[in-house]
Each structure stands twice: as structure tokens, then as C-alpha cells.
Structure 1
Amino acid sequence: MAKRVLAGGLLVIALMLLVTGCWDQVQIEERGFVVGVAVDFPRNKQAKEQSNQEAPNKPVGQNRFLITTQLVIPGGLVASGQSNGGGQNTSNEAYLNLVSEGDSIFEVARELATRSSRTPFYQHLKVMIISEEVAKSKYGFANAIDVTLRDPDSRRSSKVYIAKGDAKSVIEVRPKTEKLPSLYIDSVGENIDKNSRMLPDIRLGDVHQQLLNNFSFAIPRITAEKQEVKIAGAAVFDTDNHMVGFLGEEETEGLNFLTGKVRGGVVKAKINNDLVVMNIQGAKKSIKADLRDKQHMKFNISIQCEGAVMESFVPMDLLNEKSIKKLQSAFAHEIERMSKDTIAKVHKEMPVDVIRLGRYLKQNHHELWKQIQYDWEKGQQLYQKSDINVEAKVFIRNIGGINKTENPIGR
């Protein structure tokens, strides 16, 4: 009898726990879906000075942020001519940008409650854009994403970009192909298999890992051009998580080859004073190192690339073995040129190990890495003292539907 009473009591407790599962539910129509966030520094200092005058003893941070939050207006997503089942969105806007300023990003997010009828909901956040000014400031980048990493409602799969100029201008573009600028930016970022000048996506989870590791890293660069964006190039960060500069588009392409991150794209080669264009179908890299002299380590990066000839302005027979070898050599030389330009930038000029040689040492020569890790980019700066050589090989797997290019009269 006692066992039955005990079992019944446990069953009642279990049912009570199940009943309380929806205590914090929020109806979907009451949520304000945030799809994009842009982080800048405010241009005017009057607001901060006025705030200090109103409450001179309140705690303030070293930086003050200007946050642009993009929320979805569901009624604006309804196609023209269709009923939205309720009030009409006369402006036909599918989003609303709310701009707020404060010392704390979390404070700014909560301040939106004083201006929006819907509770901001960050689980559908697609993109987070941070201005180069914030990224270059001391602890600015880490502080800008801290709350997003801590908030359980945020998505760690949200893409992160560094804006050349103001981040606000990027999220305010008005693309004609999409109703939501943030979804447009997110879609453009998916085209990395079409252009090797785009750095592969960096998501919030990746950024968190980079901040915790003692390595340099790169994040895709984004710029606003009229009513569209361009994702090409890269922002480079040192081991202190400060942005030290940008890589151009060709330098980013070279970086992708050096790190084995090329997923597709185009390589142009010059043959007989005209162009032949190859579509990249695959690429990989390998590293060999001579580590006998710690003060002067030598690294040889070998790049192998496969592709198909997609365009040729040069009259040549692509079934001829000598022609193919000449073409493969020309493409390999172009890959080596771009890679060497990148090495010159990140090895001597900056210098930051975004080529990931430190990671190679940590994974493949761990005992040596434990001895030199604090002298790699800092201290004795062994990274800068090392030699880096690059060699490329190209294999043409397809020449297209024709083997010869017509030679026009007078060409």
C-alpha cells in the first residue's frame, strides 16, 4: 500500500512539472524578430556629455556604442495583392531599423522595449556587422560581441562581418532583390563557392573560438555601395583581438589558397598577351617545415588546384599536350603571385599569422610549439623571422566543349 501511495505521489509531481513547461511562453505575433545588428561608435559626443550631466555618478564604460537593430515587419512580407489578414502596412516596408545609443549593448537592447511594441527576439539573427572603427579600438571588437555570445537567445550560427566605414550604412541598404537587407547580406555571403575573393563565413561560434585562442585571425570585409553590398576582402586581427588592417580582394584570394579554403572561383592567366580563364573546381594545400633552427624556421607551402578552361581569347589547341602544360604553368604562376603578395602583407608588413602556420606547429609539432608559443608572434617574433615559400601546381581537367579558339582575321 505504501508503495502505491509513493508511486502515486511521484506521478503527481511529474505531471506538475510537465504542466509548468509553458510558463514563459510568448505568442509569436508578440515577438519582434531581430534579423540584423550593426555596431558603430556614435559620431557626436553631446549625448554622452548630456547623460553625464544628468547622472554624473552613474557607471559608464570606456566606449559608447551606436546600435542599429533590424526587426521584421511581418505585414511587409506579404506579396502585393494578397491580404495580410489584419491591418494594412501602407508603407509596404518589411523591416524597421531602430537606432539606439548607450554604454552597454545589453542596455541598448533592453531600451528598445521603450520604443517597440514587440519584444526583441534574437534567435533568428542572421548577420552582425561591426564597423572598422569599433574593431580597431582597444577591446572594442570583443566588447561588441560579448553580450551576443552570452545571451542564450542569440544564434551562434549568425554571420559576422567587418564593415569598411560605418556598419549602419551597410544594414540600411535597400536591395531590389530582397525585402530584408539582412537576409540579402546573408544570401550574398553564401556565394563563397563562386568567388575565391570572399573569405569563408565566420559565425559567432567561430569568433568565440578565435577570441579564446592565442592566434591571429581574419573576418570577411563588407562594404556598402549605393543600394547593394559587396563582400570581398578581409579584416585581419592580431593575437590581442584588435583589427590591424584590411586585405584587398586579391590578397584575400591568396590567403584562401594558402589556408586551403578555396571552394571555387576564377583564375586568369596571360598567354601570348591575352587572357585564358579557368574555373576552379578544387584546391588544397600542404605544408612542409624545416624546424632545425628555431630562430630561422622555413616553411614550404604546396598548393594544388584543379579546374576547367571556361574562356579563352587566345588561339590555341587545347588537345595539344605542350599547350596544356604551358597553360597549367601560367595558372600556377598566377596563384603563386597572389599568394606571395599575401605573404608579403601578413608576414612582413603587418605581421599577423593568418596563414595559420602557428596552428600547423601546434597540431604537428606540439612539443616545439609549447617551447615557442609565447615567442611566435610576440616576444622574439619567430613568425616574422621565418622564411615562407610557396609553390603551386595546376591540373586542367576539362577544356570545355571545344578544343580550339577561332582565330579572327587580323588578330
Structure 2
Amino acid sequence: MVKRVVAGLLVIALSLAVTGCWDQVQIEERGFVIGVAVDFPRNTKAEEQALQEAPDKPVGQNRFLITTQLVIPGGLIASGQSSGSGQNTANEAFLNLVSEGDSMFEVGRELATRSSRTPFYQHLKVTIISEEVARSKDGFANAIDVTLRDPDSRRSSKVYISKGDAKSIMDVKPKTEKLPALYIDSVGKNNDRNARMLPDIRLGDVHQQLLNHFSFAIPRITAEKQEVKLAGAAVFNADNQLVGFLGEEETEGLNFLTGKVRGGVLKTKFNNDLVVLNVQGARKTIKADVRDREHMKFTFNIECEGAIMESFIPIDLLDEKTLQKLESSFAREIERMSKDTISKVHEEMPVDVLRIGRYLKQYHNKLWKQIERDWENGRQLYKKSEITVKAQVFIRNNGGINKTENKTGR
């Protein structure tokens, strides 16, 4: 009897072991998707044809034009190497498949009718949503809903909003990279070099923003002459709808106000010429006076430190008074950019991408529960509030020299 039980357990254990690869797909049969762009179609021919084929079928409020970028492994082989089949290895390393439909999931499955390889989304690097889709009601949330639900999709993939068509971004052919999506992903990692770039926003971050019902900002991307530029920001209200864009300097001001500056450049005019600071870090604190709900006051205190990297005037950085004047000049530049940003997002739009609502929720939770619905909407307490900025700059390094050389004629 014991032998039979042991034999039965062995059979069960072996059965579990051999079923571990029941759903395996060979790597050469996968279609690796590394980028997705979402637009609205420019014509309705496909929609009219679909309605003619099935006039009673359910349709959504919007139709999407999806550009899916797949990797062509043979195109990744370095020039001059043999592919083993005698084919030219200079071919493109990617393929952009364009499909149209009113369901994102349906469009993804439609690729199976035209691609010999099963689309595989676990290597998805970037998702680009067009300005037109993001401005439409529920367009942005609908465009990423299937990606959030699909267990094969990566929540670490980056999300961008394109100024214009998203498809044009995927059509870029950079000379430094063979795969446009990987090129975009690499450019996005340079935000520690330039404060005019927002920090990466990943799919998981976007999901959290959609659930929090706060205003938020997403990096803006544009394309020109086979290059992309990641600078500026797309601003969304609490209803997850795009309301406008911030320019490059306004985005830099936003990064200072939200404490997201990792690096960058500050220029100031000192004694009628330029001095340039390499920003090495910045942080912000908020002080709030919430006694009058109809006119709350918030003060942003920004501290920044960096090193002098360039100077077009003779300057002695060992002189304490000169150093203090220079630090004050850089501080005024931060205040100027920050005030321009505040003017845009506090008065013109207005949307709380300054994260003041989050601050109130964390540090004045009882008050926040009472005014939450009237913050950006209703009585618009956010717009009625007063926001000021105070900046301090600390020069930690002279850039290797204490005095700059004498200039001709000075």
C-alpha cells in the first residue's frame, strides 16, 4: 500500500514538472514590441468599411491609430558581418506596423493577421500618446488602459506626450541607434544633465496618477529632421485631460518648485556678462499659512548648489562679497523662472502640478478633507491662494581656478 502511494506521488510530481513549459514560445517566433504610438486616424475609410461589413457591431466613442514598433533581429547584425543566409545586413532593424480600430486590444490582436511573429510586449520601452488623443475626454486614460491591464506589458515602460502626431516620433531614424524606441529611451535618461527635462514618467507612475485624482505633468516629446527632443511638459488636470504645455524654461522652473532637479545649467548676467553654473543638486520646502481658506499663502524655499563652469568676465571667487553677489544673482534667476511657471499653472491654466494639494493632504490632512472638492474645482481655492518663491544658491566649487583670466580690453 505504501509503495502504491509513493508511486502515485511520484507520478504527480513528474506530471507537474513536465507541464512547466506548456505555453512556451520559441524566441525566434516572438515579435518583440519595443514602442507604441497612439493617434486618432485622419480619415474614416477603415471605419466605413468596418461598418459596411457589420453595421450592428458595437463601436467605441473614438477610433485609435496604433503604430507598433517591432524588432527585426537580422537588422541588428553589425555591418560587414554575415547573417548566415547571404542576405544584406544593412536592412532596417525595426518595422512599424500601423493598425486602426476602436479597441486598443482589438488592434493589438489585429496584428496577428499581418505579422508572422506573435507580438510580445514584455520588452516595451516607450509609449507615446499624441496631443490630440490626450486633449480628448478620457482619451489618455483609454489609450493606456489595455497596457495597464495586460500582464505581458511592462509597467516600467516610459510614457511621453507628443506635440503633434505620435506616429511621426516612431518614424524617426536616428543615425546613432538602429531602434528608434531605444534611442528615445536613452535620451530620456539624460535628465540629470538638463533641468528642462522632466524626470521619467513610467507606466506604473501614470496609473498611480490616474487613481490619485491630482493634476500631473508628463514629459513632452517632439520630432524634427530624424531627431527627437525631450524638453517641456504636458500638463494634465485632475480629470486626466491634457490642458496645455509648458515651455522649456517653464519646465525648468517646475522642476525647481517640485524638487526634481538632478542637474542642469544656470546662467546669470554678472557685471554685464555671463557666468554659468553647473547645477549639482536642489531641494525645496514649503511653508503654508492656511488660516484663511479663501486666501491661503504658500512659500516655496528652494536651495540649490553647484559649481562655476564658465565665466566671460574676470572674477575673483575667493572674494567673499563677490561670491555672495554671484550667488544672489543665480538665486534671482531661479526665482524668475519659478515665477514664470507659477504664472502659467496657477493663473492661466490653472492646474496644481506644483503638488500643493499633495502637501496639504500629507501635512494638513484634516483641512484637506474639507476643501478637497473645492481645491481646483468648485470654489477654486488653489487659484485664490498666494504663492511666493525664495531661492538660495551655494557655490561649492570654483571650477578648478580661483580667478579667471584677464579679457582683452578689460
Q: 1:87 offset after TM fit, Å?
A: 5.8
Which residue does the alignment assign to 2:61?
62
Kept after mapping to 2: 8 A contact 1:75/1:89: no
Alignment of 1:245-324 (within 5 A): 245-324=244-323
| Structure 2 residue identity aligned to 1:168 | K
Q: 1:89 offset after TM fit, Å?
A: 4.4
Kept after mapping to 2: 8 A contact 1:75/1:88: no
Which residue does the alignment assign to 1:41?
40
Query: Do residues 145 (structure 1) and 144 (structure 2) align?
Result: yes
Which residue does the alignment assign to 2:231?
232
CA distance in 2, matches of 1:370, 1:12: 60
TM (normalized to structure 2)? Answer: 0.98
Which residue does the alignment assign to 2:83?
84
CA distance in 2, matches of 1:328, 1:408: 22
Kept after mapping to 2: 8 A contact 1:67/1:99: yes
Query: Do residues 125 (structure 1) and 129 (structure 2) align?
Result: no
The worse-fitting range, judged by mean Cα deviation, of 78-87 and 255-264 is 78-87
CA distance in 2, matches of 1:55, 1:310: 66
CA distance in 1, matches of 2:325, 2:23: 68
Kept after mapping to 1: 8 A contact 2:31/2:71: yes
Q: 1:7 offset after TM fit, Å?
A: 4.7
Q: 1:21 offset after TM fit, Å?
A: 1.0
| Structure 2 residue identity aligned to 1:25 | Q
Provide, for residues 102-137 of structure 1, a one-character-per-residue CA deviation record: whole Å limited to 9, x for no partner.
111111111111111111100000000010000000
Unaligned regions of 5+ residues in structure 1, if any?
none
Provide, for residues 254-313 of structure 1, a one-character-per-residue CA deviation record: whole Å limited to 9, x for no partner.
000000000000000111221100000110000111111111111111000000000001
Question: Percent identical across equivalent pairs?
Answer: 80
Kept after mapping to 1: 8 A contact 2:191/2:262: yes
RMSD of aligned C-alpha atoms? 1.2
TM (normalized to structure 1)? Answer: 0.98
CA distance in 2, matches of 1:79, 1:53: 48
CA distance in 2, matches of 1:147, 1:214: 20
Query: Do residues 220 (structure 1) and 219 (structure 2) align?
Result: yes
Which residue does the alignment assign to 1:169?
168
Which residue does the alignment assign to 1:362?
361
Q: 1:8 offset after TM fit, Å?
A: 4.1
Q: 1:333 offset after TM fit, Å?
A: 0.2
CA distance in 2, matches of 1:407, 1:195: 30
Kept after mapping to 2: 8 A contact 1:102/1:108: yes
Kept after mapping to 1: 8 A contact 2:289/2:296: yes
CA distance in 2, matches of 1:363, 1:5: 63
Provide, for residues 162-184 of structure 1, a one-character-per-residue CA deviation record: whole Å limited to 9, x for no partner.
00000000111010000000000
Which residue does the alignment assign to 2:334?
335
Kept after mapping to 2: 8 A contact 1:376/1:383: yes
Query: Do residues 105 (structure 1) and 89 (structure 2) align?
Result: no
